[in-house]
Amino acid sequence: MTETTDGGQSRWKDRMPSDRAWKPRMGVGRKARAAEQDRAAGGRLARAVDLGEGQYARASIALRLYRSTRRIRAYLRWSQEGETQERYIGEVDAATRAANLAQAWKMARAAGYVTTEALPPGSWASSPASRAVMSANKGRDTKPEKLLRSALHRHGLRYRVGVRPIPDLRRTADVVFSRARVAVFVDGCYWHGCPEHHRPAKKDTEFWHEKIAKNQARDADTNKVLSEAGWLVIRVWEHEDPEQAAQKVVKEVTSRRDAPAAAPSALQVEREKPRPLRPSAPNIGADDRRSREQS
């Protein structure tokens, strides 16, 4: 609510609003700015500008102080086809930046400038919020993976990241020690059905139960195939202490490097067998061609 003087006029007409009413904090990163906008709008999906044909742009609110009028104005900004678009929303008059952002988002929604992002046709997610959470899950370089890799690096180990232990097998390990033939997988507690921390979904229970079961079956098959090819598979749950997990990996990698080379398995021999060369066409010389023409 706008503060007023005894005469009933807005104090902002008489003096400049404070910086805390509109100015962002210095040194705030991009993620923190996005989180600030999410809170003010009521969620990330509530910041959508409908571009048509099921396409949305993520918008943000910019607050600007116009010193000539001593007023704070709010603008809606988004990107479309590589260009920044901007629309004037109106004036805001709260005492803090957070309150002014929330006020501006309400004005933008009331004017129909923004909407809540809808689910695309055929989506398996139960809600837009669920889809946003699942889409944010990384397939690589997750926090548990990075913590484990840092611990392994401190122990002096060097490794490959996100590669297939067997090139023609579509199984990608998180950390690979090629010389020692050790493949490390960092498994998420939900996606791989951790016996300690997995909690079944309350919505679409049958769908998620089947999906987790397929992941577990794929994990078991990966373990079997790699083991038959002479690899040691180490699986680390995301909840495990990274230092303890690293010590286990270090022990196995070191022992396999120091051990004498074992005879390759039948599957390993078959996979590493060189492919036969394709036979080349016979080369008919000039004399042969002439003799054939004369006959």
Residues pairing with 187 in the sheet: 237
For 219, phi and psi rounded to 5 degrees? -60, -45
Q: Convert the pLDDT of each residue in 81-127 to its tens digit.
A: 899 999 999 999 999 999 999 999 999 999 999 998 876 666 555 55
Number of Cα atoms under 13 Å in the Cβ half of residue 60: 12
Q: Convert the pLDDT of each residue in 184-235 to its tens digit.
A: 999 988 888 898 887 777 777 887 888 899 999 999 999 999 999 999 999 9
Higher pLDDT, 135 or 46: 46
pLDDT average, residue stretch 265-274 = 49
String of DSSP letters for 233-247: EEEEETTS-HHHHHH
Q: Measuring CA to CA, how many Å separate 54 from each of 42, 81, 84, 125, 263?
A: 21, 15, 20, 16, 57
The structural domains of the chain, ordered by start, are 11-110 (no CATH), 143-272 (3.40.960.10)
CA 67, chain centre distance (Å): 42
Q: Which token pair is 116?
A: 């809540």
Judge if pTM exceeds 0.85.
no
Q: Convert the pLDDT of each residue in 115-125 to its tens digit.
A: 988 766 665 55
